[in-house]
Amino acid sequence: MKLASAASGLMAALSLSTSLAARAADDYAIDPAHTSVVFKSNHGGFASSYGMFDEVSGKFTIDPKSIESSKFELTIKVDSIDTGDAKRDGHLKSPDFFNAKQFPTITFKSTSVAKHEGGLKVVGDLTLHGVTKPVTLMLTGGKVGEFPPGVARTGYDTSIAIKRSDFGMDKMIPAVGDEVGVLISFEGTKP
């Protein structure tokens, strides 16, 4: 009886510790009002042109006890591209560039997460223009707090450079640069 009681107590303790460990990870939903994806490309060797995407969504999980279990997912709506010029936006949405009708979203899904100085190293798959390639995001930030009071929040910044020709977007090179710089800043709140 005592052995069965001890085994039962041990099982209950293990169940409780597993339950607590499962809750150690924090799930966040992307806060679109505090998220920006800005890009730049060279225009004919003269200067850089800038644009952004107005609609970004996603979610991420941060597990401080097991950072490699953390996950990130971002989705960008291509049709939300905004360069400040409607004619240029229309051209960028066309088959010459993003082909927004055929490829309506750009997505990123992490495949591994590790700590690095000042933040996280996130490796994942970027799908753009129907092509998926691995990229590495070096995230800085990660401050956790309540803002406004009662809303748990965290956020990160990163930047990457990609070659659009690697994703099958090779029209008008070099008049429009092949290398595109991308700045990403996002905040998440706990749902």
Strand-pairing partners, residue 132, are: 127
Q: Where are the domains of the chain?
A: 25-189
Specify the pLDDT at position 12. Answer: 43
Q: Each residue of 68-100: pLDDT tens digit?
A: 999 999 999 999 999 999 999 999 999 999 999
Kind of pairing, strands 47-53 and 56-62? Answer: unpaired
Distances from the Cα of 112 to the Cα of 30, 115, 121, 123, angstroms: 19, 10, 8, 5
Specify the pLDDT at position 15. Answer: 44
Distances from the Cα of 98 to the Cα of 57, 74, 89, 170, 187, angstroms: 19, 17, 10, 10, 26
Specify the pLDDT at position 132. Answer: 98
Range with lowest mean pLDDT among 16-30, 73-87, 114-128, 138-152:
16-30
The fold of the 25-189 domain, in CATH, is Lipocalin (2.40.128)
Q: Each residue of 88-132: pLDDT tens digit?
A: 999 999 999 999 999 999 999 999 999 998 899 999 999 999 999
